[in-house]
Every structure is written in structure tokens, then in C-alpha cells.
Amino acid sequence: MSQKYYTVTWDQLHRDGRALAWKLLPLGPWSGIVAITRGGLIPAAIIARELDCRIIETVSVVTYEEQDRGEPRVTKPPTAAGSGAGWLIVDDLVDTGTTARVVRALLPDAHFATVYAKPAGQTMVDSYVTEVSQDTWILFPWDTEPQFTPPIAKARTGVR
């Protein structure tokens, strides 16, 4: 199976983050937001602004080193959020659900929201905006730089 890539621009991330905030607004008010670092930091900031929420906590779970998965490790727990009751967890993406399972165990009473969701992890979150196929690697704007990309048809055949 070939790897597919989905590039998310800053503008698109902002629009998708606001769309998620619209879904979350009637479910609040929220005691605070727990951003999953690092990917959830920017979506959490967008959502915090849109929901007028000023209390932001973080949780750090290291699962990926570039594109290689490892065993998840909590390197910074979300101590201010207690069990998560009244709190909103925000991440950029749920992929296989590995990180989500770890964070859910830490904050069992929180509402979990991601901007993007892949099928294998969808059941781990309560809200998301966009579904992406499991075999697609999302290229977030903080991980990329603008450069030429060949048309899809040419990239598949190797013709330039």
C-alpha cells in the first residue's frame, strides 16, 4: 500500500478549528482545555479563543518520533484538570487511538475533541470535524514548508 499525504495549510487548520469550536460551543461551558502537546497546541489555542476559554492545561504523550511509532510515554501529566469533569481535551488528530487511550485513562470524565480523525481512532474521541483515511499521513503546517509537488498522476507513475 502506498503512503498518501494530505497537506493542511494554516488557513485550513484555522477554518477546521473554528468548525470544531462551533460543534463544541453548545456542549460547554468548559472549565478549561487540555491541549495534547505538541499537535494539539495550535488547535487548542484556536478553540480556546472561539469558546472564550482562558484556562489551558497541557498533557504531553510521546508516541511518534517523526513517522515511527513507539510505546506511549506521559512526559507531562495534566494535573490541573483532575478527572477531566467539565474539561475539554483537544488534539490535532486521532490516528490509531494510542495517544487518546492514554489521555482518556488520565482524564476519564473529559470531552475529547480532535480536528481530524482516522477510522481506527474515531471511537476514542467524542467530537471531530474531518475524517481522513487510515493510510493517509497528514502534513500539518508546523511540519512542512512550501515547495513544488508533482501532479498526483505523475507522482504515481514516477514521470516528471
Predicted local distance difference test score (pLDDT) of residue 124: 96
Write down the pLDDT at residue 112: 98
Q: Which residues of 46-57 are buried (b: 16+ CB within 10 A; e: fewer)?
A: bbbebbebeebb
Output 147 or 19, whichever has higher pLDDT: 19
Q: Which domain holds residue 118?
A: 4-157
Query: Where in the sequence numbering do the catalytic residues fall?
Result: 91-92, 95
The model's pTM is: 0.87
Looking at residue 81, what is its pLDDT?
96
CATH number, position 90: 3.40.50.2020
Over residues 26-48, mean pLDDT: 97
Whole-number Å distance between alpha carbons of 14 and 82? 29
The 10s digit of each residue's pLDDT in 93-135 is 999 999 999 999 999 999 999 999 999 999 999 999 999 999 9
Tell me: pLDDT of 140 over 60.
Answer: yes
Query: What pLDDT score was predicted for residue 38?
Result: 92
Number of domains in the chain: 1
